[in-house]
Structure formats: C-alpha cells, structure tokens
Structure 1
Amino acid sequence: MNHTRIRWLITLSFILASFSFAGERQKDEWVSLFDGKTLNGWSVHSGSAKYRVEDGAIVGTTVKGSPNSFLCTDRQYGDFVLEFEVSLDPKLNSGVQIRSTIAEAEKIFVFTGRDGAPRQRKIPPDRVYGYQVEIATEKSGSSGSIYDEARRAFMLASTKSDPEAGKAFKDGQWNKFRIECKGDRIRTWINDVPCVDLRDGMTSRGVIGLQVHGIGRDAGPYQVRWRNIRIQADDEGVEPPVISCRTRTLQCTSGWTGPRMEDGRPYVPDDILQRMKKVSVTQAWSIVKGAGYPNCYENAAGWITMYPEEAIVGRVLTAQYMPSHPDYNRLIMRQGHNEGRIGSSNSWPIDMLKKGDVYVADCFGKVPDGTLIGDNLGNAIYANSGNGVIFDAGVRDLEGLEGIKGFNAWYRGADPSFLREVMLTAINVPIRVGKTLACPGDVVLAKREGIVFIPAHLAEQVVVKSEAIMLRDMFGHQRLREGKYTPGQIDGRWSPEIQNDFRGWLKKNMDKLPVPRDVIEGILNPKTRNW
C-alpha cells in the first residue's frame, strides 16, 4: 500500500469520526437547567410557596399554611448526574426531588413497610412524590440522605451512621450537592464528601423538583436558594423512543391464542407456512377480506420480483423507515446502542430475524439513496430467516443478491447508491406497504399476482379452506375433462349425485392428493359443507 493511500485512509477515518461526534451529543456534556434569569422549563406543584429569580439564583419563599411545594422541571430524567449549589435558612428544611412523579389524579399507592407489612398511602392530585435528597440544617446532620416523599414516607438511606457525611453540610454558606443516578443506584455527595449509596429500583425516571417545605401559620417567611443547577443526562431529559416492544405486537395480534415468539409475534407452525405456499393469492385474499380485513392485498403493479415464479411465505417482521431527522435519529441510535444493538440501524431488524420470518419494510418507496440492503445484508437475512424480503424501497448489489440460493425479494427498484437521509423509526409496528397494511406477526403470501398479509389467527383457516377449494376444483376439472358433468353443473350448487361422487373420489384418492389426510377427513364429515 503506497503512502498516498495510507494518508487518504487516515484522513477518511477522521472525517467519519467527526460525523459520528457531530451526530450524537456527548454524554459528559453539562446542560444548565436554570438560565439564571427566568424560570422557563419549570412549574410549581403541590403547594403555594413563591419562587422567583434573584441575583442569578432561584429563591423559594415559604407561605404560611402551605403544604410542601415543588418547582419541577418540565422534562423527566432517567440516568444522570445532577449538580447544584444551595443555601438554606437555618430554620427551614428543604430537599431536591429526583426521578419523581406529579400525580395527575388521586391514587392509592400500595407498598411494603419497613416492618414487612403491607401499607397504602393516598396521593392527592398534583402531589409530587418520589425520591428526595434531603437539604437540612447542619445540626440535623441529615443532608444528603434520601427520603421517599409522599410515597413510602420513610428514609431510604441516611447519613446518620456516617459522622463525616452528617457534618458535610454547613449553615450560612453555599453548599455544593452532587447526585448520580444510574440504573437502580443513587449516590449523593455534599461539598465533595460522599453521603449515601442507595439501591432502589422503584422509579427509573421522573422530574427534578426543588422543595420549599411547608410551615405553620405563625412561622416564617423563610427562604432557600439554588444556583448553578446543571445536569449530565444520557437521555437529554427526553423519554427514549421505543424501537420495538412486545406490547405493540400484542395489540396487533389480539386474535391469536397460540404460542408466541420472544418478541411477541405469533408462532404460526411451520406446517401451516409450508401448506400456505400452495394457496393462491385469490383464495387467500377472498378468505381474509371476508373475515373483515379488507386492506390485506397489494397488487404487483410497480413492484419488481426477483423470482416471480417462487412464492414468499413466512411470519412477518416489520420495520418502519422515514426521511432522516437529526434530532430524532440521534435518540434512536442512542437508544438502540443502549439496548445492545450493533452497527447501523438498518441491520437491527436483520439481527431479530428467526427461521421462517420474512423481513417487510416500509421505506416510503425510496430507491436512489433508499437501498435498504446489498448482498452482504442479503446473506445475513437469508442466514437468519432462510427466507426473503418485501421492501417498499430499493436494493443494491442486485447480482450479488441474485446469487444467494433460496433468497427472493419484492422491491421497488435497484440502484448502486448507499442508504442516505433515511432513519429507522420502529421495528414490529403496523406499516404501510403500498396501499395495504402489514402487521408484525402476520403471515405473508407473495406470488406474482400480488401480496396478501394474513392475520396470524386466520392463517390455518386460509390454508384449510383453500385446500378444500383446491380439492373441489381438482375434482371438478377432472370430471369436466371426462365429460361426466356440464360446466353449469360444476359451477353451480352441486346436486346430491355430484356430492356423493366427490366424496367417493376423495376416499379413493386420499393418499394421492396434495392435502393432509385430516383435512380430507374433515371434508368427508357429513356435517361439513364443502360446495
């Protein structure tokens, strides 16, 4: 390799790295929660204490007779590091809520008390409840402890057993607090002195709230001041997007009562999938539409099929793509990597594929710069699923894809470009494919005539009814060729003579017909109508 090429590769690596850093905000970036001038991004709840801005600090002032009041962030935070400075009137108690909730309506909270006995507590509307990091006087020695405000209403972790931590807070000065929340672990520091280290997983995210403690009618007014409030938050105070979840899949497939796969999709038996390959698109469409699912069919117009004579049949795994939006895509990528997903987002659905699956994607019909896969990902798809794809999008490396034995594809066009200005938004959600709807867990039947998406709970019904129709047609065609009946007799309602002839034909040819024996026995059941 010559030196010019080496220098070019090094330069390219730096360019790619710069794109990566530009696309995702760094986790160690501090963000101010208070601009030093206004209370924008905050709102008061639970009580009527007064909050104002003075000399670059938030000043909370007690109001006689008011219960505990909280100035809460509009955003909710999960894992984060929070730092602030606080100055407290020596006659007042305060605190900072973390991962806390604002009750939208009255609720009864049931929990286990410290004695192991069941307890319950009523939480009124607009009440702030959850973890509270204590801010108290130097004499009390409880600053930095963690209390469960208005919920379990007892101390979860206390500084009382640590003399150094109990003395960390100083009256009459600004005190620096640091709070770290990661998973179920919450740690606190005051003036760089470690205070408590709590493991508690009751709440994983919520608002941050600055408390002004309630006082009696004859006391006060007292004040507490906060300044330099800043946070490092992995989620930027925005609830992470849901990439894939079982709940949505269950909502799409509520009619299914059989076994399910790990991701929640119905596990339609392999035997049904194999028999589905012999079902005609017209028969499947007729049965599914008749069952109340009119938007189940997409015709072949505007599609390219790699091998039109070969059916694609399998359990549908869906993926939804949209035009790229840098802010939302950053959240998607961050959440995906936090979930352990690897590489570019267009590879994530492929990693979820199981044998018998068909990867169905909506990429809004984009072909140039909309090529969801090339031959590398095509090989990965076939290795995982043993099946093909249906993409309302483009593909690239067409010759390489055609070289994958057993792989088939429906797509909008081929183009040598790479995937650009496109982002994955969700996996296993209902998606639009042309003019029809595909749901995760459907069974797809794609032949040269078109595509039918069959709800899982109808799959066996489609197969059995289609097999019955196929046998009826085989019998009718044979008898027409033999000249035994007229077209009018076969196309109309069968007479008792033809019915008995059909039954005899089934019995005679039972072991030769391309239908399972139990299906034929079901047709022979005198209670079953088959014509």
Structure 2
Amino acid sequence: MLSDVHTYSFIHYLGAKPITMKLKAFYFLLSALVLVSCGGEKKDSATETNETTEETPEWVSLFDGETFNGWKTYGQDTMSDSWSIVDGAIACNAGIGEENVGFDIGSLVTTSTYGNFEFELEYKIAKGGNSGIFYHVVESEEYGTDYTTGPEYQVLDDEFSRSEAEPYKMVASNYAMHAPSESKKPNPHMEWNQVKIIYNNGHVEHWLNGEKVLEFEEGSADWLAKKAAGKWANSDTYAKYKEGAFSFQNHGDEVHFRNIRVKELK
C-alpha cells in the first residue's frame, strides 16, 4: 500500500504535468504495481506447490520388466530356475499350465524392506493354481521360509482350487486368518487381476480388482483370537515384524506378476 508521502508525491507529480503526460504516468505506475503484486503471489504459490510435492509419497516401481534387479530367491545366493521373466512379467513355473511341480520354499523376495505402505500389482494364475503375496518378510536361516514371519494375501484360482476350500484361505484372504468379502470378483484363471494391499500402523486393507474386500486391525482382540485358534497359534514369529520384504510364493503352480509398485506411507 502507498504511504501518505508517496500519495502526495504522486499527486504533486501529476499536477505538474500536462493531462496527456499525467495519464501516461498514471498507467505506467499502475502497471508496475500490478506486476509487483502478481509476481509476489506467483512466488508464494510456487513455494507452496513445491512443499506439497515434497510431502506427497511417490510410487516406486519394484520391477523393470526385464531383469530381477531388486529381487532374490529367499535363502539362496543364486536365482532359482523356477523364476523367469516372460512378456514383461515375473513368472513362476512358466509354461506348466495345470500341472503342479510341488511346493518349493524358494520364494522370490525383494532386497529392500518396507514398513507402512500401499502396494499394487497384477497377477494371473493357472487353472487350480495356488500362490501368495507376503509382506514384512524377514529372511534368515532360522526362519527358513517367507510365511514364518510374513502375513499373506492369498493368490488362488478359487473356481478350480485343488488345495484350499475354507473361506479364510481363498483368494484375497489374510491367509488362515481373515476371509474376504463374498462380493469379491476374481477374474478366471490366466486372466489378469489387480491387487492392492495397504498396511498403515497395523491397519490392513486387501483390494481385488478395484474393490476393498477385507479390512482388519493387526494385533486387535479379534486378530489375536483368530491367531490363537488357528494355524499360527504356536508361532511366535508370524506377523512379528513391522518392517520387512515383499515376497511371492512358489507353491508349485504357474503364476505371473507385473506392474509391481509400492508407495511408502509415513
């Protein structure tokens, strides 16, 4: 805002000039004031945008479509022959179709670990096939497998399942703990399905093909009761860790994963 002194000087200046000069001077000074004002607002807006961008979590791809960079076989120094890359997707037991070659402890795990996250991918599985997506997996000789520590988002061909029948062991379940909604709509075998898993300070969500099909609180009274009454009753390590790797299970069936990405949550 102009001070009284500036206003007086401006008026005095206008009074000392012919009318044409007065108008030109007036428009010039008015334009200058507008530019200064807009410039300040633009700078503030840009600063605010940058601050917002820095605070927003970013999606990170975990698979480049060509290599196993960022991945390894659980408990092994070399990559298991069961895993390959086919048409830009990670494949387990590619090409075996409906055959099952037997359960293999050689799961595929990320070399990085994550605590709170939003995790997405697409999968397709052979007719009757079984697999799983694990999180908070800790790799050690003591544990031996991913499911010793990591909770599982079940991957299964429900329609022709050879290995599971209980609702809490079907596709999108928190395996052997929580059953997903009956409204879930998995696509048929060897068609792509979209998965999203959210873990945020014990709050867990399972999504399938754009629908949230399961929600629970890890460590709640209900969760503890289910654990005590089920498969993990005698396990001191199941869901023990709040940070760990992601892993894909080799259950002896053909399964493919692609568009794998994660967004870390604070």
TM range (shorter): 0.5 to 0.7
Larger Rg: 1
Aligned to 2:61: 32
Q: Is the 8 A contact 1:33 1:229 kept in 2?
A: yes
Aligned counterparts, 1:184-223, within 5 A: 184-201=202-219, 202-213=240-251, 215=252, 222-223=253-254
Q: What is the Cα deviation at residue 158 of structure 1?
A: 1.4
Aligned to 1:52: 84
Secondary structure of the structure 2 residue equivalent to 1:7: helix
Q: For 1:206, give the aligned amino acid.
A: G
Q: Is the 8 A contact 1:46 1:128 kept in 2?
A: no
Q: 1:41 to 1:198 in 2, by over 3 A?
A: same
Q: Quick one: percent identity of the two aligned structures?
A: 25
Q: Is the 8 A contact 2:105 2:145 kept in 1?
A: no
Q: Is the 8 A contact 1:188 1:194 kept in 2?
A: yes
Q: For 2:174, give the aligned amino acid.
A: I
Secondary structure of the structure 2 residue equivalent to 1:14: helix
Q: What is the Cα deviation at residue 20 of structure 1?
A: 2.8
Secondary structure of the structure 2 residue equivalent to 1:8: helix
| Residue 9, structure 1, aligned to residue 40, structure 2 | yes
Q: What is the Cα deviation at residue 98 of structure 1?
A: 1.3
| Residue 76, structure 1, aligned to residue 94, structure 2 | no
Q: What is the Cα deviation at residue 31 of structure 1?
A: 2.1
| Residue 156, structure 1, aligned to residue 174, structure 2 | no
Aligned counterparts, 1:279-428, within 5 A: none
Q: 1:223 to 1:168 in 2, by over 3 A?
A: closer
Partner residue of 1:182 out of 197, 200, 213: 200
Give the count of matched residue pairs: 199
Aligned to 2:19: none
Q: 1:54 to 1:81 in 2, by over 3 A?
A: same
Q: What is the Cα deviation at residue 6 of structure 1?
A: 2.6
| Residue 233, structure 1, aligned to residue 264, structure 2 | yes
Q: For 1:31, give the aligned amino acid.
A: V
Deviations 1:274-315 (A, max 9, x none): xxxxxxxxxxxxxxxxxxxxxxxxxxxxxxxxxxxxxxxxxx
Hey, what's the Cα distance between the residues in 2 that align with 1:127 and 1:168?
A: 23
Hey, what's the Cα distance between the residues in 2 that align with 1:168 and 1:223?
A: 17
Q: Is the 8 A contact 2:136 2:149 kept in 1?
A: no
Deviations 1:383-420 (A, max 9, x none): xxxxxxxxxxxxxxxxxxxxxxxxxxxxxxxxxxxxxx
Q: 1:89 to 1:182 in 2, by over 3 A?
A: same
Q: What is the Cα deviation at residue 126 of structure 1?
A: 8.0
Question: TM-score, length-normalised on structure 1?
Answer: 0.34
Q: What is the Cα deviation at residue 211 of structure 1?
A: 1.1
Q: 1:95 to 1:182 in 2, by over 3 A?
A: same
Partner residue of 1:98 out of 108, 120, 135: 135
Q: Is the 8 A contact 1:143 1:169 kept in 2?
A: no
Aligned counterparts, 1:115-154, within 5 A: 123-124=143-144, 129-139=149-159, 140=165, 142-147=170-175
Deviations 1:102-143 (A, max 9, x none): 12x42xxxxxxxxxxxxxxxx348876311100011234610
Q: What is the Cα deviation at residue 30 of structure 1?
A: 2.5
Q: Is the 8 A contact 1:46 1:67 kept in 2?
A: no
Q: What is the Cα deviation at residue 46 of structure 1?
A: 4.8
Q: Is the 8 A contact 2:117 2:198 kept in 1?
A: yes
Secondary structure of the structure 2 residue equivalent to 1:102: coil
Question: TM-score, length-normalised on structure 2?
Answer: 0.65
Q: Which runs of 5+ in 1 are unaligned?
A: 107-122, 148-154, 216-221, 235-337, 339-531
Aligned to 2:255: 224
Q: Which runs of 5+ in 2 are unaligned?
A: 2-32, 95-99, 160-164, 220-239
Aligned to 2:16: none
Q: What is the Cα deviation at residue 34 of structure 1?
A: 0.8
Q: What is the Cα deviation at residue 37 of structure 1?
A: 0.7
Q: Is the 8 A contact 2:103 2:250 kept in 1?
A: no
Secondary structure of the structure 1 residue equivalent to 2:255: strand
Q: What is the Cα deviation at residue 33 of structure 1?
A: 1.1
Hey, what's the Cα distance between the residues in 1 that align with 2:71 and 2:47?
A: 38
Q: Is the 8 A contact 1:81 1:181 kept in 2?
A: yes
Hey, what's the Cα distance between the residues in 2 that align with 1:85 and 1:178?
A: 9
Q: For 2:68, give the aligned amino acid.
A: L
Q: For 1:230, give the aligned amino acid.
A: R
Secondary structure of the structure 1 residue equivalent to 2:119: strand
Q: For 1:57, give the aligned amino acid.
A: A
Q: For 2:262, give the aligned amino acid.
A: I
Cα RMSD for the two superposed structures:
2.8
Hey, what's the Cα distance between the residues in 2 that align with 1:11 and 1:94?
A: 53
